[in-house]
Structure 1
Amino acid sequence: MPSWNAQLARLFLEQRKALEAFVARRTGNRQVAADLTQEAFLRLARLPDTERIDNLRAFLFTVAGNLALDHQRQAQRRSQVEGEMPKQEPECSQPDGLQRLAAEREQSLLQDAIGALPEQRRRIFLLYHVEGMTYREIAEREATTARSVEYHLRQALIDCRAFIKARLRPNLRARNPQP
């Protein structure tokens, strides 16, 4: 039986073009397809020697299909976030001092809220929102489950909202005193 490296090399030579075409059909981008194909082979290569896979080709195509799906989800999330920006308002080339101060305060408040999160929750939050990683990628990196990642992300938003409300509440009372 050939060695694991020899099997991978043979599989790469035999299947790379077919796998790239498969991923390109799903993503619509040949460059992304090349990157995701390489990632699929890397993931296969990283499997422990004790992992036994009966059909390497089928496994490889499954991994590549999942990577393409993850890529499409990330692209959709990015377009939704970018799509939320108001289109009607002209960009302000030089914000006045008050606007700049308010933006800096909001940024500082958000950084404080994220900084107040428990360490693991903060890492997961940043990996998802800053690095753009998928639940599955974060779960692998953090040695946890995708469901746990989802829980931590939901809880991080709840915690950040509560932190910000608590910080803003004294300011709101000062502006609107109750009789």
Structure 2
Amino acid sequence: MTAAGPYPTFEAFYRAEHDRIFHFFRRKVGRDEAPDLVQEAFTCVLRSGTFDRLENPNGYLTRTARNLIIDRARTWHRKGCMLHPLDEARDAPLAPEQEWKIEGREIRAAYRRMLLDLPRRTRRVFLMHRLKGMSYRVIADHIGVGEKCIEYHMMRALARFRKAVAIRRE
């Protein structure tokens, strides 16, 4: 390519104007998309085939850059899209609620299985304490055993649940 304005080659033009156009796009669309638009702007200038005849290549590049921004806005408007830069405070990732629900169902199913696998008396003591909220003393009087026996059954049930949870996590 021959000289265009003050630039002997397109490469010299690119090197001289790259930073200016990058900053222009960065102000308009953000740091992430600016490099792609810079490349597109220079590509448009080169493909136009008029670079060697331009009296003001800087102005032509600037006009091309503005047109790219306008075209981009029209496309987004036509598609009904809006571009907003990421705001960490506002756009925090959503909690994986669906995954939590699935895990909750799995844990409840494992809990039911463990509960059914407990010996009958241990299961009864556990349910009386945890579901009905009965104290060890009341359970002991109801069943006709000592409080130490109730403590034994509760420890046994809790140990099995802990073991099941530990196995599940592995």
**Bucket of the pairwise TM-score, normalised by the shorter protein:** 0.3 to 0.5
The TM-score with structure 1 as length reference comes to 0.39
